[in-house]
Amino acid sequence: MRPPSRLLAAVRLLLLLATPSAFAQAPEHDLKAAFIYNFIQFTQWPEAAMKGGTINLCSSSGTLLNMALQGIAGKTAHGRAIAIVPLAGAAPGDCHVVVATEDDRGRAAMVRRIAGGGAVLSITDDPEILREGLLIGMALDGKRITFTIDNSRAAAAGLVLSSRLLRLARSVQ
Amino acid sequence: MNSPEPRSDSPRISYRLAIASTLSAGAALLLAVVLLIIVEFFTLRSTLLDETRVKAAVIADNVSAALVFQDAQATGEIIRTLRASPIVEGAAAIDGDGVTLASYPQGFANVAPDMQRFRQEDHQFSLQRLEMLAPVKHNGERIGSLYVAVSMSALHRQLAVFALVSLSIAVLAMLVAYTLLSRVRHSVRQAEQKLTHLAHVDAVTGLSNRNAFNERLEFAIREAGQFQETVAMLLLDLDNFKQVNDTLGHQAGDELLRVIGQRIVRTLRREDFVARLGGDEFAVILRNVNARSEAMQVCTKLVDTIALPVPIEGHDFFVTASIGVAFFPDDGEDSKTLTRNADTAMYQAKIAGKNAFELFLPAMNADVKKRVSMETCLRGALQNGELSLHYQPKIDLMSGSLLGFEALLRWKNGQMGGMVSPADFIPVAEDSGLIVPIGEWVIEQALADLRRWNEGRRKKLHIAVNLSARQLKVDGIARRIAQLVAESAVPAEWLELELTESMVMENVHAQIETFQELRKFGVRLAIDDFGTGYSSMSYLKRLPIDTLKIDRSFVNELPKNNNDLAIATAIVALGHSLGLTVVAEGIETEAQADALLNLGCDIGQGYLYAKPMPADRIEQYLSVLKLRP
C-alpha cells in the first residue's frame, strides 16, 4: 500500500530534517521545533480534548522558537493539522500544546494557567519555567538535545506519552 | 547315505535373497530418512524465519521513537537487547536515508549497500546466516529499517542431531526387522525341512521314498553324465512278501520290510542310495560303478542277505528277492527308460525262478513285447477255439493194454505263427491268471471226450490233466473241480490231476488240505516230474496221492546209464513201498520199456506206444485197438 505522494513528500521533509547532517547544520531552534513535532506525535490526547479539526500549538509570538515552529505549522499529527496559536490571546482550553521559552518567564502565571487547563502538553527549553510544572523540558547537551518528562503530571492531565518516548528521555518523573 | 534330497545350493540363494531384501529395505529407509531430513530442514528454516521476523518486528517497533529522534545511543541500546538471543550474529538500525544509526556488535558490517537484495523479500537465506530487513514504522510510515543477521549454525546443529537420531532409529529399526525376519525365516525353513522330510521319507522303513528316489536318480544321472561315469540302478522286489503280509498281518509285514531295508543298507557302500518305492519294492542307486561285475557282486550279496531267515514274533520267515539291474548310460539315458529297463530285468529274474538277479539286456524288451502280445492273443484263444487238447495213451507195461490218456494243451494262433509251444505260453497264462479259465476248460473238454470214449467200454479209461501252481492257489479249487466233474456226469476216479513235485513241495502244508479235499471227492492225484525236486519223505507219506511219475530225464538213457537206472529203481521201490502206482514217461525204445518192466514200473507213456494225438485221431486209435486180439 503506497502512501499518497503528498504524504510521502512530507515524510521526506521530516526525514531530511531528522538526518544527523541536518541536525549538525540546523539552527538550534529548528531542531527544537522538530523535537516538539515528534513529541506531539508520541502523545495521545483524551478524545474529549480533541474537539476541533486542528491541534493547537500555543506559543508566544516573536520568539526565535516561535519562528521555527512556523515550519511545522500545517503538518499533520494524529490525522490533524497543527496550528500555531499566539499564546497571548489564548484562553485555557484553547491549546493542546503549550511551548514556553526563556522569553515567557514574565508570563509564567499565564503559562501555568493555560498549561494546567486540562489535557495540555506543555513543553519548555527553559529550566526556570520548567519548574512551573511543565511536562517536558528540553536542554542542549553539547550538540545533542536531551529532554526530561514529568510523566506523573502528564498522566494526571489525562495525556498518555508513548513508552517509546519515555525511554528516550533523560529522566522521567 | 540316505539323506533324502541331494544337497542343493538353496541355502546360499536364500542367504543372498536375505541380503538383497535387507539392502533394499535399508535403501528405502535411507531415502525416507533423507526425505525426513529435507522436510525437517525446511521446517526448521521456516520456524527460524518466523521467530526472527517476530523478534525483528518487536525490536523495530521499540526502536521507532529512537529512530525518529535520531537517538543513536537509545537505538543502540534497544537493538542490543537482541544479544539475549545467542543465534543473532548482529543487528543494525538504518534510517530512512539508508544511513546506519546504530549497530552491534562493534564493527558489524554496514549492510546499507546491500539493501537492494531485500527488494523482493524481507529476508535472505545463505548457507551461514539468515538476514532480515524489517521495516521500522511510525504512524504507519516507514521511517527506517532494522537489519538482523541470524546464524544458521544452530539450525545446522539441530539438523545434524535430527539426522543422527533418525539414522540411529532407522538402523535400530533395521536391526529389529532383520532379527524378526531372520527368526521368521528360520521357522519357515524349519517347517520346509520338515515338509521335505515328510515328502521324502518312507514312514515304514525310514528309508527314502519314491519321491526322493526320483530326485536322487535324476541327480545321479545328471552328475554321471557330466563326469562320464556309470550308474547302476537296482530294482528289488520281494518274491513272497504277500504271503507273510497275508498270514501274519500288516504289522509283521512292516517289521519284515524294516529288517530287509536295514539289510540292504548294511550291504551297500556309504555313498549308495536306497529307497522303498512302495509295497515290497525297493530301489538302489550305485554311483560311479566301474564294471558291471561290481553291480553283480552287490546283487549277489543282496540276494544272499535277504534270503537269510527273518525272525518275527518268535518265528523265522524266509523271503527272497528278485533284482533287475539297468546301467546308465548303456541301458538308458534318462531316468524313465532306466527305471523301465530295470523293471524289465527284474521281471526276467522273476520268470527265471526268483531269488535271483538279472542285468538288463535289450533282447529282454523284445521278450517282454512278445509276452505282452502273446498275452493279448491268449485272451482271445478260448473264445476263438484256438485251444485244443492232444492225448497221449498210457499203457500197462505188463499187459500192454491201454489204461487211459494224459491230456496235453495245444494252442494254434495265426498271429503267433501257428503252433505255440506250451513251454512258451503256459508261463504267460500263469502270470496273467488266464490259466484259471483255461485250466477249467481243459478239465471240461478232457472229461467230455473221455465220456464219449468210455461209452460201451467194459474197462473204463481214465484221464490225467496237469494242474498249474496258479490254479492250486485259487480259493475253493477242490470244490470247483468237483463241480466240473459232476457237470461232466462222469465218476470222479476217472480224473487224475498231475502236479509237479516242486509245486507240491513249495508250500506243502498250505496245500495238503486242498489235496485231502480233492481226494475226498474221489479225484486221483499224481506227482509229476518226480525226482527233479526236493521231496520230503515225511510229507510224501502224509500226502493223499495215488501215483508217482518218474521224470523223463531218468528214462532217456535207460538201460545203459547206471545212475539213471539206480534212480529209477529207487523211485519204483519207494512208490511201491508207499502203495503208489509208478508211471514212466518218455519211453521211446523197447529196451527202455523192458528195463522199466524189469524194475517193476506199472505204467508207461511215450512215442514207443503213441505220440500225443488230437481227439478225432483217438477215436481211430481206439477202433484199431479193438480189432486187435
pLDDT at B157 over 80: yes
Residues 6+ apart with CB under 8 A from A167: B62, B65, B66, B74, B78
In this prediction, residue B109 carries a pLDDT of 61
Chain B touched by A13 (CB under 8 Å): no
Higher-confidence position of B115 and B335: B335
Q: What is the ipTM of this complex?
A: 0.73
- Per-domain residue ranges for chain B? 1-199, 210-360, 390-408+432-627
pLDDT in tens, B610-623: 899 998 899 888 88
First-to-last CA distance in chain A?
40
| Lowest-pLDDT choice from A95-109, B7-21, B199-213, B334-348 | B7-21
Q: How far apart are CA A91 and CA B521, in angstroms?
A: 170
Cell for B312? 518275527
Select the residue from B62, B69, B78 to test the A interface by mutation, using most A Cβ atoms within 10 A: B69
B95 with A38: Cβ contact below 8 A: no
Q: How far apart are CA B539 and CA B219, in angstroms?
A: 53
Which CATH number is associated with domain B210-360? 3.30.70.270
* CATH 1.10.340.30 corresponds to the domain B390-408+432-627: no
In this prediction, residue B128 carries a pLDDT of 83
pLDDT in tens, B104-127: 877 676 555 566 777 777 888 888
Which CATH number is associated with domain A28-172? 3.40.50
Architecture of domain B1-199: 2-Layer Sandwich (3.30)
Could you tell me the pLDDT band of residue B628, with boundaries at 50, 70 and 90?
Answer: low
Select the residue from B58, B62, B70 to test the A interface by mutation, using most A Cβ atoms within 10 A: B70
Question: What does residue B240 show for φ and ψ, rounded to 5 degrees?
Answer: -125, 40
B96 with A11: Cβ contact below 8 A: yes
**DSSP string covering B209-240:** -HHHHHHHHHHHHHHHHHHT--EEEEEEEESS
In this prediction, residue B1 carries a pLDDT of 44
Q: Which residues are paired to A97 by β-bridges?
A: A57, A121
Interface of B with A in 54-113 (CB under 8 A): 62, 64-66, 68-71, 74, 78, 95-97, 99
**Average per-residue pLDDT for chain A:** 80
pLDDT at B283 over 90: yes
pLDDT at A25 over 60: no
Percent of chain B with pLDDT over 70: 96
B64 contacts in chain A (CB < 8 Å): 164
pLDDT at A157 over 70: yes
Taking Cα atoms as reference points, which of B228, B305, B294 lies closest to residue B259? B305
pLDDT at A11 over 70: no
B97 with A15: Cβ contact below 8 A: yes
CB-CB contact of B322 with B239 (8 Å): yes
Chain B touched by A7 (CB under 8 Å): yes
H or E element, residue B190? helix B153-200
Cell for A13? 521533509
The owner of cell 521357522 is: B187
pLDDT at B139 over 80: no
Q: Which residues are paired to A146 by β-bridges?
A: A139
B78 contacts in chain A (CB < 8 Å): 167
- Output the pTM of the full model: 0.47
Q: How far apart are CA B292 and CA B289, in angstroms?
A: 7
**Average per-residue pLDDT for chain B:** 86
- Per-domain residue ranges for chain A? 28-172
